[in-house]
Structure 1
Amino acid sequence: MAWRRTRTSERAAVRRPARHGRHGREGRSSVVRPPLPPLDTRVDRFDLSVGTAAEFLRSAWSELRDVRFEVADMPAATDDDGIPRWTVLRDERRIILYRLPIERLSHLHRDDELHHRMLVEGSVFRAAAEYLDRDPWDLGPERFRYF
């Protein structure tokens, strides 16, 4: 009898938890995951860089207030100079920037987020300067000319 009591007390110590799965495993994770951060893709970052540079230029230059800055993946065709990075349509008051040629055909000396953004913003400034028939360095307001 003493043997049975020891055996029973051992079983009581190794008891399965009250909450278990089909195969005796402990609690499962919830079906719904915690909220994930929004996806941040290269396309989103490119669009954001173009949008902020375009808004800056619109606020600095009244001639650009009615101009639409658009983003396309690739130009329809190449020209004599190669693959264009942007197209300026003065009659339609549009500037179209091509994401893939700007991102992939330009060479950065440092491959990080800041330099990618500067590359995109520089392309927006050069396209707007072509639209206005000015030098890109003339587009910045006077407060940035301290050199």
Structure 2
Amino acid sequence: MQSPHQDPGFTVRLADPDAGASGAITAPTGSGPAARPKGFRERRRNRHGRGLRGELMLPTLPGYRTRSDRFDDLVLDSAQRLHDIWGKPLDGVRFAVDEIPPGLEQLVADGTPAPMGAYSPATEEEGPVITLYRLVVEQACGSREELQDLVHDVVVERTAEMLGVPPESLDPVYRRRY
């Protein structure tokens, strides 16, 4: 997902969980060219006319977007805000959203609190990655406003860790909204 903003040097891409898997879709052996099986929403009505006619929820209704989509938007907004403030140092930084941190079972067994985000330094293949763990952040909040503030604070904290500066100097409203 690309950022809709017009700044040519800054892009935000959310991590695609299927990106590590092979992108090619292969057909079963013995059939013609590679064909992708149709999903549930792509199927037509059944032969007796009792199947789905259209989408159950219209895109104009608030329930159309999932919690995951709304969380992704919060991360994108926070990343864009930081880029508007800092600019060049944040070029090439990827912001990823994951459901839960890796090794969560072991953390719970040890009694360690689960991290809300993580920072991975740049490698030879890709730039630095800041990952937010959606379910951990959502469980720490009670309302939608708190969620927006907490997402922004986690993005600020991980970006400050990456840049090696205190979070208070990175964003002037860090932790002042509570």
Q: TM-score range by the shorter chain?
A: 0.5 to 0.7
CA-based RMSD of the aligned residues comes to: 2.9
Structure in which a larger fraction of residues adopt helix? 1
Cα distance change, pair 141–84 in 1 and its aligned pair in 2 (3 A): closer
The answer for the alignment partner of 2:117 in structure 1 is 86
How far the C-alpha of 1:113 sits from its partner, in A, is 2.2
> Can you list the C-alpha shifts for 1:112-137, whole angstroms capped at 9, x where unaligned?
32222111111111111111121111
Aligned to 1:117: 148
In structure 1, the residue matched to 2:91 is 65
Q: How far apart are residue 96 of structure 1 and its match?
A: 1.0
Q: How does 1:1-147 map to 2 (within 5 A)?
A: 36=58, 37-38=60-61, 39-61=64-86, 62-78=88-104, 81-92=112-123, 93-104=128-139, 106=140, 108=141, 111-140=142-171
Letter in 2 for 1:115: E
Q: Secondary structure at the match of 2:131?
A: strand
Aligned length: 109
- Seq. identity, %: 32
Distance 2:54 2:146 in 1: 38
5+ unaligned residues in a row in structure 2: which ranges? 1-52, 174-178
- Structure (1 or 2) with the larger CA radius of gyration: 1
1-structure distance, mates of 2:135, 2:85: 28
Which consecutive aligned stretches of 4+ in structure 1 deviate over 6 angstroms post-superposition?
none
Displacement of 1:139 in angstroms is: 1.1
Question: How has the CA–CA distance of structure 1 residues 91 and 58 changed in structure 2, closer, same or farther, with 3 Å as cutoff?
Answer: same
Aligned-partner residue type, residue 47 of structure 1? D
Separation in 2, partners of 1:58, 1:32: 40
